[in-house]
Structure 1
Amino acid sequence: MVATHGFQRARKPEQIEARRCAILDTARALLGSRSVADISLRELSETVGLAKSNVLRYFDSREAIFLEVLDENWVAWLDGLEASVIPTEDSSPFAAEIHLASTIAESLVPQRLLCELLSVMGSVLEKNISEDFARDFKKRAAVNTTRLASLVHSQLPDLADEDAAHFAKATLVIVAGMWPYAEPAKSMAVVLGEMHAPPAAEMFATGLREGLVNQLVGLSARAATRTS
């Protein structure tokens, strides 16, 4: 549990920024062992040592706090991905697409928090925020999505910009759709074991890779038919 702080009311810009950082630090710490659904604004406020009304001076809502955490994790993932992508030397058909999609999938698998927050971004986190915050967050989300599309296009220059953009958006949809099944409840894990199903984490990793590979290969194949 994060230690509480005996805060005085923040008035100076640096005090306000310190308060925001403390709230985000607390959210990150709670998310390290709990799901978004299990963390209330009341618990977050009490843990950071503020009344709920004071937390809402710095963020629109509980959801806005988690969207900030999502954005920073999203950016950090992209930074690492851009630094780690190495083109394949395999020149067989669609080898580059398979290699790139697999690399992206493998980079996402260990990003538990990013995957969880993406999985509830549209259904939960974007439901209780102001228009101003929504506008700002959507601009940042668009920048992040464009970064992934640009990375894909840099590795596959024959892929049209709109196809790279489609793949970047599809990546988010696939992660969001699959992640809820990656960490099943204890009872469901028991049933899956009785059915001799692979571990949920393994199914997530395999399904994510296959989903991204199929998307990227399919887009490249369709692009080839347009130019033939």
Structure 2
Amino acid sequence: MNFKRARTDEQRAERRRAILATADEMLTEMPVAKLSFNELSRRVCLAKANIVRYVESREAVLLELLDGHLRDWIAELSGSAPAEGTPRERGDALAAELAESLARRPVLCDLISSQATVLEHNVSTETAIEHKHALFGAMESLIAVIRRHLPEFGEREAYDLVATATLVTAAAWPHSRPSEAMKAAYERDPAVAAMRVDFTELVGRTLAVTISGLLAREHDRPAMPR
């Protein structure tokens, strides 16, 4: 990619889109922890000092990518038809769909798992506010999807399920990606292998149990936070 200096608003916007697209492609090759500004600048053929003319920081780039991947995931879920059956059966089906759809999106899971510890650091207050507003919009859309599958849920129950899905994904994803030494240990010792985390199974089971508990407590609804 051979860039010339961007002189118009459209050229600057195009440069920024190229940087974001390149970073997104890099995340299909490496985890968030290994994506560096140096490698990003090399791939877009811009000096590191020049990249910050278009993006605030590595973390700001990753936050924007997280917002985009969340929108794509929710769009996929919005196109799925609710299951039939009892609330428990529909809840189990929804839990499985959420877990399986997350597992198909490793970049999203990696970004979620790094959000609090990496992505939300080294950004300006303005970027943080913009991201949280985007996140709130995504959460509202996901709440609507959940309530379409489980109309028994109020906003509070759906909100609690979204929060649980986010937190369990953040915890389960890195644990389901063991180091080479841990992989070797799992293969050598059956007792150790029993401790290996299956991301889809753990997330699906946790969400199914959460849904069952929320259904059982549906008449005990605290107010939805605003």
Separation in 2 of the partners of 1:13 and 1:6?
19
8 A Cα contact 2:96 2:204, kept in partner: yes
How many residues in Structure 1 have an aligned counterpart in Structure 2? Answer: 219
Task: Tell me, yes or no, if structure 1 residue 44 matches structure 2 residue 40.
Answer: yes
Partner residue, 1:148: 142
Match of 2:164 among 154, 164, 170: 170
TM superposition shift of 1:113:
0.3
Shift of the 199–33 alpha-carbon distance from structure 1 to 2, 3 Å rule, reads farther
Task: Tell me, yes or no, if structure 1 residue 87 matches structure 2 residue 82.
Answer: yes
TM superposition shift of 1:87:
2.3
TM superposition shift of 1:195:
3.1
Match of 1:122 among 113, 116, 125: 116
Match of 2:98 among 86, 90, 104: 104
Q: Tell me the alpha carbon deviations over residues 145-194 of structure 1, each in whole angstroms, 9 at most, x when there is no partner.
A: 11111111122222121111111111111100100012111111111222
Partner residue, 2:69: 73
User: Counterpart of 1:70 in structure 2: which amino acid?
Assistant: L
Separation in 2 of the partners of 1:112 and 1:74?
12
* Contiguous gaps of at least 5 residues in structure 1: none
Separation in 2 of the partners of 1:223 and 1:46?
53
8 A Cα contact 2:82 2:148, kept in partner: no
Match of 1:219 among 214, 219, 224: 214
Please give the secondary structure, in 2, of the residue aligned with 1:223: coil
For normalisation by structure 1, the TM-score amounts to 0.90
| C-alpha RMSD of matched pairs (Å) | 1.7
For normalisation by structure 2, the TM-score amounts to 0.91
User: Counterpart of 1:192 in structure 2: which amino acid?
Assistant: Y
Separation in 1 of the partners of 2:37 and 2:144?
37
Percent identity over the alignment is 34
Greater RCO (Cα-Cα under 8 Å, separation 6 or more): 2
8 A Cα contact 1:146 1:168, kept in partner: no
User: Counterpart of 1:208 in structure 2: which amino acid?
Assistant: V
